[in-house]
Amino acid sequence: MTASTTALQAEEERRIALRALLSEPFVGAEKPVFKVIRRHDAELTRRCTELLGYRLHVTASFARLVKTPTERSLARGIRVPPSGPSARDRSKDEWPRLSDRGVVLLFLTLAALERGGQQTVIGELAQDVADTGARADPPLSVDFDNRSERTAFGDALELLCHWGVLQLMHGRHGTFANRIQEDDDSEALFTIDRRRLALVLKDPFAALAAHTSEDLTREPEAPTQEARTRQIRHRLARRLVEDPVLYLDECTEEERAYFASQRSNLERRVEDWIGLAVERRAEGTAALEAGRELTDLPFPAGSTVKQLALLLCDWLAGEREASWPELRSAVRALLAQHERHWNRSPDDDEVLDTMLEQSTALLVDLALVARSPTGLRARPLCGRFRAPEIRVAGAV
């Protein structure tokens, strides 16, 4: 094997490793890619720090890339992997979102686990979570007599099990939602991975001092111009990697000035280091994921909502802005046109409103449209999904 072939193979390995780190919060030692991550630990750490401002932690049993979310990724929320291998084979955007209450209980559970031992049963953990909420300032009331509260708690546990922070040793934690008695043999027993637990939060001290969600993501003031420039580079690179598109009109003047001078460099690194295909336009840059391994919103796709959203793109791309009544009429017309295939009645107002809400929310999440005071405004990326115009050569 020649030196150039070896270098190309090493570069491909680093690309595979970085994609795995970006797609999962924790990469365990049981995954084949973990050995690749260990092999290229130093270079991956350098690249993640230099390009994205992310911290890479590699231990003997797992790797964790601690990221800073973008505004768009925060708006998409956390998805909870459903139980059962067949359910998990579904697209990630079909997994249920962690509710706002689930997020609160997740934070309380993390705090309760920090004070506990190496193992816990679900009944004791639930009591610890309730006690932790009572000690919070201001106090947070937790009522596990309420089924919805138990369900939200179960979602938080599902997420922690998926991350490997909790390992289910006995029983099924889903039974807690049905109020299994504490002396029941089916009560779940968990082992806590304290090394993973310590790395769930990017900055535990900032989390303790936070009063709002913005406090958790706010960047510290850069002490020097060099540090300020580095922050700008990280923000722009994160949008390229984590968001559907980077629009220049959504950047600050300082960010646009930096991007104008460093655009080629940033785009090349995203292509070479991560394997995304860069599509440059006057309005900005989209880094496309052909294999869909890194996306949590695959589009287009076969679901009815995504098919409807795709057809709305074609309709919206020709409009500067569409009001809600116009959008509702467009959705009704598309439901009528495709009623036989979609099995959705355009005359059912409840179905119509649900399809309108879900399809437009998807378009907003994908940055294909933006909300306006009266409806939706098409964004430049929307034009990428309009139906092609077929022209015959030589025809007038």
Residue-wise pLDDT tens digits, 136-161: 888 999 999 999 999 999 999 999 99
pLDDT at 17 over 80: yes
Amino acid identity for residue 263 in this structure? R
Q: Is the pTM of this model over 0.85?
A: yes
Position 81 scores a pLDDT of 84
pLDDT at 216 over 80: no
pLDDT at 182 over 70: no
Collapsing DSSP to helix, strand or coil, 255 comes out as helix
Mean pLDDT estimate for the chain: 89
Give me the mean pLDDT over the 310-316 stretch. Answer: 92
Contact by Cβ (8 Å): 316, 369: yes
> How large a percentage of the chain has pLDDT more than 70?
91
pLDDT at 209 over 70: yes
Query: What are the CB-based long-range contacts (under 8 Å, 24+) for 146-152?
Result: 147/177, 148/101, 149/101, 149/105, 150/176, 150/177, 150/179, 151/177, 152/99, 152/101, 152/102, 152/105
pLDDT at 292 over 90: no
Domain ranges of the chain: 3-67, 85-209, 239-288, 304-385
Angle at 289 between CA 53 and CA 14, to 5 degrees: 55
Position 302 scores a pLDDT of 84
What is the band of 88 on the pLDDT scale with cuts at 50, 70, 90? low
Dihedral, 359, 361, 367, 368 alpha carbons, nearest 10: 30
Phi, psi angles (nearest 5°) of residue 12: -65, -40
User: Which residue is it, tokens 């390992």?
Assistant: 167
Contact by Cβ (8 Å): 386, 312: no
Position 394 scores a pLDDT of 56
Contact by Cβ (8 Å): 210, 216: yes
pLDDT at 278 over 60: yes
Residues in a beta bridge with 321: 377
Give me the mean pLDDT over the 184-202 stretch. Answer: 87
E strand spans, 222-283 = 246-247, 277-281
pLDDT at 128 over 50: yes
What is the band of 205 on the pLDDT scale with cuts at 50, 70, 90? confident
* CATH number of this structure's domain 304-385, picked from the four choices 2.40.160, 1.10.10, 3.90.1150, 1.20.120: 1.10.10
Give me the mean pLDDT over the 61-83 stretch. Answer: 90
Q: For the chain, give the longest Cα–Cα distance.
A: 82
Contact by Cβ (8 Å): 234, 92: no
Position 179 scores a pLDDT of 58
Say which residue, 290 or 320, is predicted with more confidence: 290
pLDDT at 131 over 90: yes
pLDDT at 180 over 50: no
pLDDT digits (tens, 9 = 90+) for 34-58: 999 999 999 999 999 999 999 999 9
Say which residue, 390 or 56, is predicted with more confidence: 56
Domains 85-209 and 304-385 equal at CATH topology level: yes
CA-CA distance, 144 to 102, in Å (whole number)?
13
* CATH number of this structure's domain 85-209, picked from the four choices 3.90.79, 3.40.30, 1.10.10, 2.30.30: 1.10.10
Contact by Cβ (8 Å): 353, 332: no
Position 219 scores a pLDDT of 81
Position 183 scores a pLDDT of 45
pLDDT digits (tens, 9 = 90+) for 350-381: 999 999 999 999 999 999 999 998 999 999 99
